[in-house]
């Protein structure tokens, strides 16, 4: 083990997981099959790389990193914007791309104080405030596209990737709110105390991402990192 100790990385289970794993392998990490397999193990140690992986729900990655349960994490920009945790955003990994958009029925007519259903209340509230529009945000945890079809809401703010879910439910994308990719994030204290180890992993990942082109490099450990929390 290095003098700075083992690095713990919070990995999002689900959609992002395999993209993140592929990227780590492309960066030259030798990872055990155990990590890729469909196992119920939530903590996987990789002594050969001096790394530990925590497998958590995507929305919980920023929480684990903010509180120091993990030094690093991989999280979608959508989750980072919604959770607004006190963590550093080091690198745009350019994986699991999608967008967060406003959508509705094609015949949608403006109404006063429309209802907007979403899994992303903070982002939706902020975006409508910036547009100078008053809305009532209704929080849902899934199947958000049902809301305009059932009268639960006038419009939705949700993730769009292929557009299939919107199409199959007769909805149209009205406006893109933000593009989303997954980011490498760091705990603030770890970023200082384990800088050499974080630097090394960051550089290996950045090389792969930049090699693929279109890299939105956030500056990394030696540059200007983005502090994701609006309040901190």
Ligand X SMILES: O=P(O)(O)OC[C@H]1O[C@H](OP(=O)(O)OP(=O)(O)O)[C@H](O)[C@@H]1O
Ligand Y SMILES: Nc1ncnc2c1ncn2[C@@H]1O[C@H](COP(=O)(O)OP(=O)(O)OP(=O)(O)O)[C@@H](O)[C@H]1O
Positions touching ligand X (CB under 6 A) are: 142-145, 158-165
Site size for ligand Y, by CB under 6 A?
15
Tell me how far, at minimum, the Cβ of 50 lies from ligand Y, in Å.
Answer: 28
For ligand Y, which residue of 27, 31, 55, 59 counts as binding (CB under 6 A)?
59
User: Residue 148: which of ligand Y, ligand X, none does it interact with, CB under 5 to 8 A by kind?
Assistant: none
Pick the closer one to ligand X by CB: 8 or 101: 101
CB 185 within 8 A of CB 228: yes
User: Residue 83: which of ligand X, ligand Y, none does it interact with, CB under 5 to 8 A by kind?
Assistant: none
Alpha-carbon distance of 12 to 20, in angstroms, equals 9
Pick the closer one to ligand Y by CB: 91 or 197: 91
Alpha-carbon distance of 103 to 157, in angstroms, equals 6
CB 113 within 8 A of CB 93: no
Tell me how far, at minimum, the Cβ of 164 lies from ligand X, in Å.
Answer: 4
The residues in 68-107 that bind ligand Y, with binding defined as CB under 6 A, are: 76, 78-79, 96, 98
Q: Which residues bind ligand Y (CB under 6 A)?
A: 14-16, 57-59, 76, 78-79, 96, 98, 159, 161, 180, 182
């Amino acid at each position: 083990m290095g003098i700075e100790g083992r690095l713990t990385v919070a990995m999002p289970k689900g959609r992002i997981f395999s993209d993140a794993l592929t990227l780590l392998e492309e960066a030259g990490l030798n990872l055990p099959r155990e990590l890729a397999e469909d196992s119920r193990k939530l903590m996987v140690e990789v002594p050969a790389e001096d790394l530990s992986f925590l497998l958590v729900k995507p929305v919980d990655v920023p929480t684990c990193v903010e509180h120091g349960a993990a030094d690093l994490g991989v999280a979608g920009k959508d989750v980072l914007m919604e959770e607004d945790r006190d963590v550093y955003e080091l690198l745009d990994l350019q994986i699991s791309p999608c967008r967060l958009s406003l959508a509705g029925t094609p015949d949608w007519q403006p109404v006063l104080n429309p209802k907007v259903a979403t899994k992303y209340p903070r982002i939706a509230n902020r975006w409508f405030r910036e547009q100078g529009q008053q809305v009532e945000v209704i929080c849902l945890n899934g199947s958000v596209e049902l809301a305009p079809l059932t009268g639960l809401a006038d419009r939705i703010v949700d993730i769009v990737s292929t557009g299939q879910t919107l199409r199959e439910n007769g909805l149209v994308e009205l406006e893109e709110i933000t593009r989303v990719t997954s980011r490498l994030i760091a705990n603030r204290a770890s970023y200082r105390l384990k800088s050499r180890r974080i630097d090394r992993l960051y550089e290996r990942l950045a090389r792969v991402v930049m090699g693929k082109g279109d890299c939105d490099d956030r500056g990394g450990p030696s540059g200007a990192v983005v502090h994701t929390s609006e309040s901190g």
